[in-house]
Amino acid sequence: MKDIKSIMMVFGTRPEAIKMAPLYYELLRRPNIFKVKICVTGQHKEMLYQVLDIFKIKPDIDLELMKDGQDLFDISSSALLGMRDVLLENEPDIVLVHGDTTTSFIAALSSFYLSIPVGHIEAGLRTHNIKSPFPEEFNRQTISKVSKWHFAPTKTSKDNLIKEGTDKKN
């Protein structure tokens, strides 16, 4: 396994930005170790940009996906094609995603397709009902299937992952 030097953080919603901001700043404190890029999809554009302003985070890449009248099909297909191009151009060593959004699911899926390891922040949360909440429970379970590293916030989350077959060392 090659050393992790290039990290791409992908998010698209206000809650993701709020929770990823401290990690972003912590990684920036190690410029001799990591090169960090932020890619946003703009899944919830207005609310996301407000938070980015508060945290003084300027994305390196903005897919600007939101359009009026979109549904999950539109967001997913646009994000999948956009992420393919971003990942091929930037070649990160790891992609970090957060939680259970469509942005996180598509970024993880795109990374999986290109054999780029995924780190899932806030992994292992479960309702155990794939349709509730919809589509978040499906997203979080699927992200877990393609992630190499799982950053579980609680012991219960860790136990959920282990029960699903995730290796304890990951």
- As a whole number, mean pLDDT of residues 125-154 equals 97
Does residue 145 belong to any structural domain of this protein? yes
Query: CA–CA separation, 88 vs 122, rounded Å?
Result: 26
- pLDDT recorded at residue 119: 98
Q: How would residue 5 be classed by pLDDT, with cut points 50, 70 and 90?
A: very high
Q: What is the CATH number of the domain that holds 128?
A: 3.40.50.2000
Where would I find the beta strands (DSSP E) of the chain?
Answer: 6-11, 35-40, 61-62, 94-98, 118-121, 149-151
pLDDT at 2: 57
Asked if the structure places residue 1 within a domain, the reply is no
Number of domains, the chain: 1
Instruction: Please compute the mean of the pLDDT values over residues 94-116 and round it to a whole number.
Output: 97
Residue 108 located in a structural domain: yes
Mean pLDDT of the chain: 94
**Residue 170 in domain:** no
State the burial class of residue 168 (Cβ atoms within 10 Å of its Cβ: 0-12, 13-18, 19+): exposed
The boundaries of the domain holding residue 25 are 6-163
* pLDDT value at residue 1: 40
**Residue 32, in any domain of the structure:** yes
Indicate if the pLDDT at residue 3 is higher than 50. Answer: yes
Residue 169 lies in a domain: no
Local confidence band at 66 (pLDDT 50, 70, 90 cut-offs): confident
Q: Within a domain: residue 159?
A: yes
Which whole number is the average pLDDT over 143-168? 97
